[in-house]
């Protein structure tokens, strides 16, 4: 991109902290519970009291492995725990248990859609660690510390600096969020800080034949997709301006941290980031290394659900879903599962998909939820689709029935029963449809005459007349039979004229 007369290429990598959906903390049995009264979900281990010994939460390791496998990472056979020392009120032990040189997993990649194209970003590593507590600033004149969050299991995912724009970073974040919810490894509730982003940003600038790189900045703790996007946009512009002003370029040791001020929509300078050696990483003597049995890892891999990208591809080919509209069906796993379940029950998947994208999506949006959240089971979804594909009701009638299914009265009713009650079943009674055809011909005598005089207009006239039959019948005529009867009658009249 062009900025202030410079050719600018942003270079962006992401660190993502993801809270794992375990019942208890990483190294103790305290419950994970957002919003509990301060310091009521704590014990000697997560309070860092002397002599308390941590024990590894097996479920957290499993969720970490599942995520790492979905990110195409190599799972380490031997992984250990390290102490990362720093001094801060919300860190009661004065160190965080993390993984330094032997992380849980390495060398993966993540693919995500940008428009219809697929982007691939390399994953450097994904490791387990514990979260810190929270400083609370609500009390007058002092800062409180709530340690309920201390010891919460986190997976830290680190990408290579492969991203080139704020849009790409946001897309990655949105689709990674979808992935972890698909995997069931995290609720990834952004409001509760269960997924947080820290982009590393600098710029490659070309001007007058000279190429430089600006100093790397890490923006700490962004907890919405929008903040991630806006912070990157701001930071790229700021770095270009800063370079024009002071000429500073990237050097070892001049990486800086900045925070994001949501109100001012600007990044702001923060404390200097310690170099790795200042964290004084060393192996935690209280914890045994984890040796991962490869058969066990293979078992975790076997139980992986179909992931969003392959599922999108399958929906496009199997259910003839336009790529653009696929996210409506795929993004929410329960909704995608419901579509598959209805198809497995024998409904025509293409029809179900059409109905999902049509009235089901509309009804869900009106109620502020997902299609699966409407609470209609696969059997009734399938039955409604079958009524249309078998020609018993029109497509428009199906929408009406769906609406009725969501009303109090229709909550338990079968679609077929509702179609009867509402008088929406199409007639395939030949004499009834014959009467409608007769009425359509009578009401449109001019169109019929035109068609008979000019054979080239015949096809258009036929379509028009079938439409009129459907209209007169209030959508109840079986369109196929109506079409046949209209053709028959036109042929008869042609013969009669000739
Ligand atoms: Zn505890
Ligand atoms: Mn971390």
Per-residue pLDDT band for 309 (boundaries 50, 70, 90) equals: very high
Q: Ligand 2 centroid to 222 CA: how many Å?
A: 13
Look up the pTM and report it. Answer: 0.84
Tell how far the Cα of 279 is from the centroid of ligand 2, in angstroms: 12
Give the Å distance between the CA of 492 and the centre of ligand 2.
Answer: 81
Mean pLDDT of 345-359: 96
Q: How far is the CA of 257 from the centre of ligand 1 (A)?
A: 31
The pLDDT value given to residue 498: 47
Q: How far apart are CA 346 and CA 155, in angstroms?
A: 41
Number of the ligand closest to the Cα of 33: 1
Which residues make Cβ contacts (< 8 Å) with residue 278, sequence separation at least 6?
Answer: none
Each residue's pLDDT tens digit, 46-76: 999 999 999 999 999 999 999 999 999 999 9
Q: Are 235 and 217 in contact (CB under 8 A)?
A: yes
Decide if pLDDT at 119 tops 60.
yes
pLDDT at 248: 92
Task: Indicate if the pLDDT at residue 296 is higher than 90.
Answer: yes
Q: pLDDT at residue 282 above 70?
A: yes
Is the confidence at residue 470, as pLDDT, over 90?
Answer: no
CA distance 237 to 12: 14
Structure tokens at 400: 């009406």
Please report which ligand is nearest the Cα atom of 130. 2
287 phi and psi angles, rounded to 5 deg: -120, 140
Question: What pLDDT score does 26 carry?
Answer: 98
Q: For residues 182 and 115, which has the higher predicted lDDT (pLDDT)? A: 182
CA of 317 to the centre of ligand 2 (A): 40
- By the CB criterion, residues less than 5 angstroms from ion ligand 2 are 156
User: What is the Å distance from ligand 2's center to 129 Cα?
Assistant: 7
Mean per-residue pLDDT of the chain: 92
Predicted confidence at residue 430, as pLDDT, reads 79
Ligand that lies nearest to the alpha carbon of residue 152, given by its number in the listed order = 1
Say how many C-beta atoms besides its own lie within 10 A of residue 196's C-beta: 21
User: What is the distance in A from the centroid of ligand 1 to the CA of 473?
Assistant: 70
Query: pLDDT confidence of 143, banded at 50, 70, 90?
Result: very high
Distance 214 CA to ligand 2 centre (A): 24
pLDDT of residue 277: 56
Dist. CA 56 → ligand 1 center (Å): 12
Cα separation, 446 vs 465, in Å, equals: 11
How far apart are the CA of 61 and the centre of ligand 1, in A?
17
For residues 117-128, average pLDDT:
96
Q: In the predicted model, is pLDDT for residue 272 greater than 70?
A: no
Per-residue confidence (pLDDT) for residue 227, from 0 to 100: 97
Mean per-residue pLDDT, 364-393: 94
Distance 80 CA to ligand 1 centre (A): 21
The answer to whether the beta carbons of residues 218 and 199 sit under 8 Å apart is yes
The span from the CA of 485 to the CA of 498, in Å, is 20
Taking residues 448-470, what's their average pLDDT?
86
- The span from the CA of 243 to the CA of 94, in Å, is 37
The dihedral region occupied by 200, where left means phi > 0, alpha psi between -120 and 50, and beta the remainder, is beta
Rounded distance, CA 414 to CA 16, Å? Answer: 46
Question: pLDDT (tens digit, 9 = 90+) per residue, 394-445?
Answer: 888 899 999 999 987 777 789 999 998 888 887 777 788 888 899 999 999 8
Per-residue tokens: 114: 């940008």
- For residue 223, report the distance from its CA to the centre of ligand 2, in Å: 14
Q: What are the two backbone dihedrals, phi and then psi, of residue 268, each rounded to the nearest 5 degrees?
A: -130, 145
What separation in angstroms does the CA of 60 have from each of 26, 32, 34, 95, 185? Answer: 7, 12, 18, 20, 9
Nearest ligand by distance to the CA of 27 = 1
* CA pair distance 99, 97, nearest whole angstrom: 7
* Maximum separation of any 2 CA atoms in the chain, in Å: 106
């Amino acid at each position: 991109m062009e900025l202030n007369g410079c050719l600018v290429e942003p270079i962006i990598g992401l660190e993502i902290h993801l809270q794992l959906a375990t019942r208890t903390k990483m190294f103790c049995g305290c419950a994970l519970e957002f919003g509990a009264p301060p310091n009521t979900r704590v014990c000697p281990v997560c309070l860092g009291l002397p002599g308390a010994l941590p024990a590894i939460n097996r479920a957290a390791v499993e969720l970490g492995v599942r995520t790492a496998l979905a990110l195409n990472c190599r799972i380490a056979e031997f992984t250990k725990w390290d102490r990362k020392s720093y001094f801060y009120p919300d860190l009661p032990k004065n160190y965080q248990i993390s993984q330094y040189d032997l992380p849980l997993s390495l060398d993966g990649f993540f693919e995500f859609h940008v428009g219809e194209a697929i982007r691939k970003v390399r994953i450097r590593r994904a490791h387990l660690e514990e979260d810190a507590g929270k400083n609370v600033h609500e009390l007058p004149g002092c800062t409180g510390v709530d340690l309920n969050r201390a010891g919460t299991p986190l997976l830290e995912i680190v990408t290579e600096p492969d991203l080139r724009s704020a849009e790409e970073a946001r897309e990655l974040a949105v689709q990674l969020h979808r992935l972890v919810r698909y995997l069931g490894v995290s609720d990834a509730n952004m409001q509760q800080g269960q997924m947080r982003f820290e982009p590393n940003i600098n710029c490659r600038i070309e001007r007058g034949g000279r190429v430089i790189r600006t100093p790397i900045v890490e923006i700490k703790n962004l907890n919405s997709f929008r903040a991630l996007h806006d912070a990157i946009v701001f930071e790229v512009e700021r770095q270009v301006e800063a370079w024009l002003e002071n000429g500073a370029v990237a050097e070892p040791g001049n990486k800086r941290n900045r925070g994001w001020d949501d109100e001012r929509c600007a990044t702001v300078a923060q404390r200097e980031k310690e170099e790795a050696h200042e964290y004084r990483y060393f192996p935690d003597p209280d914890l045994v290394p984890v040796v991962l049995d490869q058969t066990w890892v293979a078992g975790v891999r076997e139980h992986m659900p179909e992931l969003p990208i392959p599922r999108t591809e399958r929906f496009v080919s199997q259910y003839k879903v336009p790529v653009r509209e696929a996210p409506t069906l795929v993004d929410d796993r329960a909704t995608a599962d419901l579509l598959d379940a209805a198809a497995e029950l024998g409904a025509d998947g293409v029809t179900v998909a059409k109905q999902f994208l049509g009235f089901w999506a509309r009804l869900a949006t009106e109620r502020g939820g997902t299609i699966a959240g409407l609470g209609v089971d696969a059997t009734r979804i399938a039955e409604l689709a079958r009524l249309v594909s078998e020609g018993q009701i029109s497509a428009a009638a199906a929408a009406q029935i769906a609406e009725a299914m969501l009303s109090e009265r229709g909550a338990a009713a079968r679609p077929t029963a509702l179609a009867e009650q509402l008088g929406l079943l199409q007639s395939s009674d030949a004499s009834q449809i014959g009467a409608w055809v007769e009425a359509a011909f009578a009401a449109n005598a001019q169109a019929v005459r035109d068609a008979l005089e000019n054979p080239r207009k015949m096809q258009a006239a036929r379509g028009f007349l079938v439409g009129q039959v459907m209209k007169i019948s209030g959508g109840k005529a079986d369109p196929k039979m109506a079409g046949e009867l209209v053709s028959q009658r036109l042929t008869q009249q042609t013969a009669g004229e000739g």
